[in-house]
Structure 1
Amino acid sequence: YWTREAEGAGLVARARELGFICPLLARRADALAQRLGAQLAAAPAVRHPIHGDFSAKQVLVGDEGVAIIDFDLACYGDPAEDVGNFMAGVERYALRGDLSPRRVEALRDGLLEGYALAARSRLPPRIGLYAAAGLLRRAGLPFCYREPDWERRTELLLERAEARSNPVPKRVKVTTELPQDAALPGLVAIHALAGLGLDANRVEVRLRAYTPGLRATLEARAGDRRLAVRAYAEDPAPEAALYRALAAGLERGGKGGGGGGGGGDSEVRVPPLLAWDRDLRLLVTGWLEGPTADELVKSGRGERAGELAARWLRRAAALPVTLGPSLGAACVLRQARSWIAELGAAAPALGAAATVVEGVLALTRPQEGARRRRRPTLYARTAGILHRTRQRVAALRASDPALRMAAAALPARLAWTQPTESAPGLVHGALSVHHLIDTGDGGGPGVIDWERFGQGPAELDAGMFLATLWRIGLEDEALVREAARAEGAFVTGTAGLLHRRALSWYRAAALLRVAYQAASGREGDWLGRARALLDEAVRVAEAAG
C-alpha cells in the first residue's frame, strides 16, 4: 500500500544497503535519503494508477505500436514517480556510457512533451525529486552487475542524485581545484596542454564554469599567455568546425565582403581555435580580454553594452556560416517542458506560473514565412488551449496571491495572427550578457562559449540578451536605469533587423529559462527572483500576440 511515509522508509533502507556496500558513502547516502523523504512527506498525497517501476526497459516498440510490460509493482501513487524513474534510468545509461548526454536530453524532452500532450495538463510536480530517488535506488546496481570501477560509478550516481534533489549553481566560483568527472576525460588529462608548447610546471589552471556530466571551462595561464580550455562529454568536432568557419567568415567580412548590415566589421571577434582533441574531448581557444556586457552595465556603461550586442547581431546576420542544428520556436517549446518540470520540483507555485507562460507561448508561437490562413478547426483547437490555460490561471490566483500579476497578464481574447520571425541564420543559442566581451580600444564585440550554436532566427539570441539584461536590474535595483539604457541602445542599433513581436516571444521564452536557472541555483532570494521573472515573461509574451 503506497504512502508518503512508506516512500521515505524505502529510501532510508536503500541508503543503508548502499552504506553497507560502500561504507565511505554511508553518511552521504543516509543524508540524501532523509532529505528526499522529508521533501516527499511535505508534498500532498496523490493517488493515481502508476506503473511503479517505469523505465525504458518496460517499453516495447514494434511495427504495430507501443506496449508497456511488467506491471507487478503497479499501484496507486504519485504520477511523477513514473516520469522521474524513467529519467533516472536514462541518466544511469549515460553514466554507464550507453547514451550520450545529448541523447539523454532528447529522451527527457520527448518524454515530458509527450506526457504533457497526452495528459492535456501541466506536468506533475516533484519529477526532479523522484528522479533523485530513482538515482539513489540505482546507486547499488554497478556493484550488483560487477561493473568495472563500480565504486566510482556508484559515487557518480549518488552525486547525480544529490544534484537532482538540491541543484547547485552552474556558475561556480573560480578555483584551482578541478572536479573529478568520469564523463569528461579531458579533466583527467590536462597534461595535453603540453602539446601547445607550454611548460607544464608553470601552467596555472583554474575552473571557470562547470556543468556536471556535460562540460567544464578552464582558464590556463602560462606567463603572459592565457587560454580557454573546454572539456566536454561529447565530441567537440562540430564546435571546432564552427570556430574555423567563423574565422574565415569574419576575415572575408573585414576585406569588404559580407552585406546585409554586416558592413565588413573587422573588429568583431571570436576566440581563435588553437587545438582540439577528439579522444580527450578537449577544445583549446585563445582568451578574449575585456569586460563582459554584464560588467559594462554594472560599471555605468550600459549604452556601450547595448551597442556591442547590436553590432554583433548585425554582423552575424551577414556571416555565410550554415553549420549547426536547427534552432527556433519548436526547439524552445520542447525545452520549456523540462524547465517547467524543474520549476515545479523547486516550488509548485513556480511550476503553475511557468505553465501559464508556456500556455501563452504556445498560443503565440512565431512562424517562419507568410502567415497561415484562418481555419475554423485551428480556431477551435487554439480556443480550447486558451480555455484550459484560463482554468489553470483561476487555480493559480486562488493558490498563490503573489502570482496574480502573472495570471492577470494572460491575453483577454484569442489573437488570430502569429508573429513572423526572421530567416534562419547563425545563432549563438545562449547569448547572455556574460558572453559578449568589449575588446576595447574602440574595437567591436567579442563572443565566447559557442557550444549551443545552431541555425535560427536572430530574435532567439536577441531575446536571451534582453532577458539577462533585465535580470541585472532585478538583482540590483540601482542598476535598473543603466540596464534600460543598454536596452535602448540595443533597440536603436537593431532597428530594421528584428521583428518586434517575434522578439517579444523569444524574450519571454528566455525569461522562462532564466527563471529555471534561478530556481536551479537557489542562491539568495531565488524564489522571489523566479516569481518576478515569470511575471515579466507573461507580460512580455502578451506583446507577441
Structure 2
Amino acid sequence: MEDPPVLSATERSIIERERGVPGLGTLLDPDAFLQALSARVNGIELQSARRTYIRYKPGANCVVAYKLETELGPVDLYGKAYGRDAPVKFAKDRARKQVPSALGPGRLALEEHAITVSVFPNDGKLSALADLMDPAARMLLLESVLPGDPRVAASEIRPLAYKPERRYVARLELGQEPWGVLKLYTRAGYQAARRRALAFGAGELLDVPRLLGKWSHPGAVVTAWMPGTRLSECLSEPELGLDRLLRVGAALAELHAQNPDEQLPLRRPNVEIDTLFSLVETVGQLLPGLASRAWLLARRISSLIEGRPFSPVCVHGDFYAKQVLLHGERVGLLDLDGATRAAAEFDLGVFIAHLERDALRGRLPKGRVQPLAEAFVKGYGGGQSLPVEVYVAAGLFRLLHDPFRHCEPDWEQRIEALLTRAERILPRSDVHPLSEAKTTPLPATPRVPVSDRFGVSDDPGMPFLSDALDPAAVERQLARWVLGSTPFTLQEVRVARHKPGRRCIIEYGLELDGEPVTLLGKVRAKGLDVICHRITSSLHDAGFGPESESGISVAETVGSIPAWNMWLQRKVSGSAATELLAQPGGVELARRIARAIHELQRANVPTPRRHSLEDELRILHERLPLVASANPTWARRIEQVLSVSSRLGAATPVSGFSGIHRDFYPDHVIVDGDRLYIIDLDLYCHGDPALDVGNFAGHLIEQGLRSSGDPDALAREQQALEDAYCELAGEHVRETVRTYTALTLVRHIHISTLLPKRRRLTERLLELSERSLGIER
C-alpha cells in the first residue's frame, strides 16, 4: 500500500495544531524523516520510507513505524516524537540496552527534532525482542519459557505481527512445521495476557489456544499452534456456506457461557461510553469538521446503552473474522488478550462492525454482510435484550481512527465513511428524544423553589438549561438516570455558577432516605464531560473516598443526564481553604494541602488530556496582548514580561509527568475537620506536577494582595506549601515550582481585567510579575 509522496492538507493541519510535540511534522512526513535520518546514517543510502503504523497521543507523543528501502535492502524501524519531556526520555533511552542494526546503531537520537529512532529488533519497551534475533540469546529465552521442551533447540521463528512498544508475535517452527506461537509483551501487557491465557477451555465446537509456557522476566507467553483457515481469508468466497457462520456464532456462545477461575476485568456500560467520547476527541483532533457528527452519534449510542439491564458474560473483547480459525467442524478463537466481562452484544457488535468495514473497503460484497451477520447471530442464539445494531454502531465507532492509525490511503474519506455507516445502521426507531424521560409518572410534589440569579434559562448556547431548572423535569430525569427506584424528594433548585455559552453548575437539594443531600449537576455546552466524570469516579475508587485512611477525598459521582450534557456528584461539606489559610493554623493547613495534592498526583489516573509548559506559555501569549491593547502605556512592559517568561520556561527542567489537577488553588480545597476534599477536577490532565503547587502558590500571592494589599501576607503559608511538597516529591522540583509560581502571577494580570472588583489590582500584578521575573524598571 503506497504512501503518498507528500503530506496531505489534513495532515499538515494536524501538525499545525500540535504545539506540544515539536517533532511531529518531521516524523509524519516520510521525506522529512528520511532526510533527518540520512544525516545520522553514514555511508548507507536510504532510498525511500513508507509509513506502516501511527499511534498519536496529542500533546504527549507520537509513534510512527516505517519500512525503509535502502541499498542494503528493506529495514524496519520506528520513530517516537516526544513533548517537553524529551530530555528525560532521551536519558532513559540512552540507558537501555541495544544491539547493532542494519543501519549501524540500534537506536538514534534526533535531538533537534525531539525524536528517538529504534531500528528493529530494538524496541523501547519490548527488551526481549532483541534477544530473539541472536541465536544464543533466543535459546536461553525459549528454554526459560519452555524448560525441558526438546523442540526448542532446533526451532526457527517466523514473525507474524508487531506493534512497536506494545507486542510482538511470532510462529515457532520445527522443520517448517509450526508448533507454537510466541508473544512478547510489555510488563503491564504480560500480566493481563497471563491471566487470560489460563481463563478459557475448549468446548463442543470451541477451541482456544493452549498455554505451553510463560516467563514474566521478558514478558513472554507461548501457546500451542492451532491448525485451520482464518475466516477472514474465505469470507468473500461465494462457496463459503452460512453453516460456517452458524458454527462461529455457536462457538462464541460457548466462550460466553464459561465461568473461568481467573477473574477477568469488568467492562461496565459506562466504560464503553467513556471510550466512545474519548474517540470523539480523537476524531476532533484528526478531522475537526467531523467532531459534531461524532459527538451526536456517540450521544445517541450512549443513550441506548446506558440505563439498560447489564448482565456481563466473559467476552473475547476483540472478536472479528481474523480471530477465527475454521478446522473441519471445529472453530478456534485466537488472541484472547482483550478478554473481559461485558455485555454479550459487545462481541456480536464488533464482529458485524468488521464485516461492515470490509464491505466499505471493497473486500466483501455489500450484499454478503446481512446474510453472514444473520447466520452468525442465529448461531449464537438469536435475539438479545438490546438490539445488536446498537453495538454494531458502537463497534464501527471504535474503528474510526483505524484508517489513520494503519496509514490507509484516503484515510480522511474512510473515517467519514465509517461514521456515515454507523449513523445509518443505528435503529432510529429506538432513539427517543433525549429530553423526554421514559419513566413512570411521579406524583405531583409541592412547589419547589428555583433560584436562577444568572438567568441561565435564556442561554442560547445551552437551551436545555430551562428543562434542567424545571422541578418536574428534574424529578423525571433524576429518577430515570441517577436514583432509579430510590425514593427522594426534590426540595430546591439553585444555579451556583454560570459561564455563558460554556458551562453551568446547578445545585439540586434533595431529601434522600430521610437525610438532606445536595447534588451538583455539572453542565458543559459542547457535550457531556465524560472524561472528567470518569476521572473523578476513578479517583474516588482509587482510595479517595469519603472514609479514606489518608484523610484526602474527592466528591462521589452519582450519575449523568445525557439530555442536559450533565454529570452529577455529591456536594461535600466543609469550608474552602481560602479563608482558613489566612487564619491561625494556616501554615499547618498548607502542609496538609501539599500532601493532598502529592497523593492525588501519585494516583496518576489515565487521561487523554495533556498540558505542558509550552501550553502555559501559549496561554500567556494569547491573553496578555489583550491587556496591552486595552492599556497601551503598558504594552512595552507586557512585551518584556512575555519575553522573559518564555526564556524562563525554556530554561526550566521538567520535574516529572503525572496526573495533575491543573486548576489547583485554595477555592478547590474543602476542609472538613481532619479531612480535605479536592474538588473541581474539570481540567485534570497529564503534565508536570510542579504546576499544581506553583499555581496554588501564585494564587496565595494574589489572595494576599487582594485581601490585604500585601502580596506577602501569606508568605509563611506559601513557603510551608513549597517546602512540604519538596520534602515529598524531591528537592529537584523546587526550581520548577517557582517557575510556575511566577507564570501564575503573570496569568493573573489578564484574569484581573475580567473581574470588575479586581481591575484595581492589574498594575500591581504587573509590578509583582516583573519583580518575580527579575525585570528591573
SS state at 2:221 partner: strand
Structure-2 separation of matches of 1:158 and 1:302: 58
Q: CA deviation at 1:275?
A: 0.4
Q: CA deviation at 1:531?
A: 1.5
**Partner deviation per Cα, 1:3-60 (whole Å, 9 max, x = no partner):** 96996997699999xx99996289xxxxxxxx9xxxxxxxxxxxxxxxxxxxxxxxxx
Residue matched to 1:330: 270
**Partner deviation per Cα, 1:389-431 (whole Å, 9 max, x = no partner):** xxxxxxxxxxxxxxxxxxxxxxxxxxxxxxxx5x111011111
Evaluate the alpha carbon distance shift between residue 88 and residue 144 of structure 1 in structure 2; reply closer, same or farther with a 3 A threshold: same
Q: How does 1:205-244 map to 2 (within 5 A)?
A: 205-223=157-175, 224-235=177-188, 236-244=190-198
Structure-2 separation of matches of 1:188 and 1:496: 48
Question: How many residues are matched?
Answer: 362
CA contact (8 A) 2:397 2:422 kept: yes
CA contact (8 A) 1:185 1:281 kept: no
Evaluate the alpha carbon distance shift between residue 157 and residue 295 of structure 1 in structure 2; reply closer, same or farther with a 3 A threshold: farther
Structure-2 separation of matches of 1:227 and 1:518: 31
Structure-1 separation of matches of 2:234 and 2:17: 52
CA contact (8 A) 1:184 1:213 kept: yes
Structure-2 separation of matches of 1:243 and 1:20: 42
Residue matched to 1:434: 322
**Partner deviation per Cα, 1:212-267 (whole Å, 9 max, x = no partner):** 211121122122342111111025244333333313xx4xxxxxxxxxxxxxx423
Larger Rg: 2
CA contact (8 A) 1:343 1:519 kept: no
Q: CA deviation at 1:188?
A: 2.6
Q: CA deviation at 1:332?
A: 1.9
Q: How does 1:477-488 map to 2 (within 5 A)?
A: 479-488=365-374
Structure-1 separation of matches of 2:61 and 2:235: 41
Residue matched to 1:317: 256
Counterpart AA for 2:413: G
Evaluate the alpha carbon distance shift between residue 326 and residue 153 of structure 1 in structure 2; reply closer, same or farther with a 3 A threshold: farther
Whether 1:180 and 2:180 are equivalent positions in the alignment is no
Structure with more relative contact order (C-alpha pairs < 8 Å, separation 6 or more): 1
Query: Comparing 186-195 with 150-159, which one deviates more in the overlay?
Result: 150-159
CA contact (8 A) 1:305 1:486 kept: no
Evaluate the alpha carbon distance shift between residue 538 and residue 275 of structure 1 in structure 2; reply closer, same or farther with a 3 A threshold: same
SS state at 1:246 partner: coil
Q: How does 1:82-161 map to 2 (within 5 A)?
A: 84-85=58-59, 87-88=60-61, 135=82, 137-142=84-89, 148-149=95-96, 155=109
Structure-2 separation of matches of 1:495 and 1:161: 51
Counterpart AA for 2:267: L
Evaluate the alpha carbon distance shift between residue 317 and residue 467 of structure 1 in structure 2; reply closer, same or farther with a 3 A threshold: same
Aligned partner (choices 191, 208, 213) of residue 275 of structure 1: 213
Evaluate the alpha carbon distance shift between residue 266 and residue 4 of structure 1 in structure 2; reply closer, same or farther with a 3 A threshold: closer
Q: CA deviation at 1:514?
A: 1.6
Evaluate the alpha carbon distance shift between residue 277 and residue 352 of structure 1 in structure 2; reply closer, same or farther with a 3 A threshold: same
Aligned partner (choices 328, 343, 346) of residue 286 of structure 2: 346
Residue matched to 1:446: 332
Structure-2 separation of matches of 1:240 and 1:185: 18
Counterpart AA for 1:210: Y
CA contact (8 A) 1:240 1:273 kept: no
Evaluate the alpha carbon distance shift between residue 267 and residue 12 of structure 1 in structure 2; reply closer, same or farther with a 3 A threshold: closer
Q: CA deviation at 1:487?
A: 1.0
Query: Comparing 276-285 with 520-529, which one deviates more in the overlay?
Result: 520-529
TM-score (norm 2): 0.41
CA contact (8 A) 2:205 2:251 kept: no
Unaligned stretches of 5+ in structure 1? 27-34, 36-80, 92-131, 164-176, 251-264, 370-420
Counterpart AA for 1:479: P
Structure-2 separation of matches of 1:145 and 1:453: 32
Structure-2 separation of matches of 1:276 and 1:9: 37
Structure-1 separation of matches of 2:353 and 2:402: 12
SS state at 1:471 partner: helix
CA contact (8 A) 2:123 2:165 kept: yes
Residue matched to 1:362: 302
Counterpart AA for 1:493: G
Residue matched to 1:193: 142
Structure-1 separation of matches of 2:142 and 2:356: 39
Residue matched to 1:68: none
Q: CA deviation at 1:478?
A: 5.8
Q: CA deviation at 1:361?
A: 2.0
Residue matched to 2:407: 522
Q: CA deviation at 1:462?
A: 0.6
CA contact (8 A) 1:360 1:538 kept: no
CA contact (8 A) 2:236 2:363 kept: no
Counterpart AA for 1:424: P
Residue matched to 1:511: 396
Structure-2 separation of matches of 1:160 and 1:241: 37
Counterpart AA for 1:432: Y
Structure-2 separation of matches of 1:137 and 1:14: 16
SS state at 1:450 partner: coil
Q: CA deviation at 1:480?
A: 1.9
Evaluate the alpha carbon distance shift between residue 157 and residue 230 of structure 1 in structure 2; reply closer, same or farther with a 3 A threshold: farther
Residue matched to 2:351: 465
Q: CA deviation at 1:200?
A: 5.9
Counterpart AA for 1:84: P
Evaluate the alpha carbon distance shift between residue 239 and residue 160 of structure 1 in structure 2; reply closer, same or farther with a 3 A threshold: farther
Structure-2 separation of matches of 1:526 and 1:13: 18
CA contact (8 A) 1:515 1:533 kept: yes
Whether 1:245 and 2:199 are equivalent positions in the alignment is yes
Query: Comparing 278-287 with 304-313, which one deviates more in the overlay?
Result: 304-313
Structure-2 separation of matches of 1:156 and 1:457: 46
Q: CA deviation at 1:135?
A: 1.0
Q: CA deviation at 1:439?
A: 2.0
Structure-1 separation of matches of 2:287 and 2:224: 41
Evaluate the alpha carbon distance shift between residue 275 and residue 156 of structure 1 in structure 2; reply closer, same or farther with a 3 A threshold: farther
CA contact (8 A) 1:302 1:482 kept: no
Counterpart AA for 2:216: R
**Partner deviation per Cα, 1:371-401 (whole Å, 9 max, x = no partner):** xxxxxxxxxxxxxxxxxxxxxxxxxxxxxxx
Structure-2 separation of matches of 1:21 and 1:478: 40
Evaluate the alpha carbon distance shift between residue 9 and residue 488 of structure 1 in structure 2; reply closer, same or farther with a 3 A threshold: closer
Residue matched to 1:410: none
Residue matched to 2:457: none
**Partner deviation per Cα, 1:430-458 (whole Å, 9 max, x = no partner):** 11111111122x22x11111111111111
Residue matched to 1:296: 234
Q: Which has the higher strand share?
A: 2
Q: CA deviation at 1:160?
A: 10
Q: CA deviation at 1:210?
A: 1.9
Evaluate the alpha carbon distance shift between residue 20 and residue 12 of structure 1 in structure 2; reply closer, same or farther with a 3 A threshold: same
CA contact (8 A) 1:340 1:516 kept: no
Counterpart AA for 1:205: I
Counterpart AA for 1:494: Y
Structure-1 separation of matches of 2:364 and 2:40: 48
Counterpart AA for 1:297: L
Counterpart AA for 2:340: G
Structure-2 separation of matches of 1:361 and 1:160: 40
Structure-2 separation of matches of 1:466 and 1:446: 18
CA contact (8 A) 1:462 1:507 kept: yes
Evaluate the alpha carbon distance shift between residue 345 and residue 285 of structure 1 in structure 2; reply closer, same or farther with a 3 A threshold: same
Residue matched to 1:494: 380
Structure-1 separation of matches of 2:93 and 2:107: 11
Structure-1 separation of matches of 2:214 and 2:227: 21
CA contact (8 A) 2:267 2:342 kept: yes
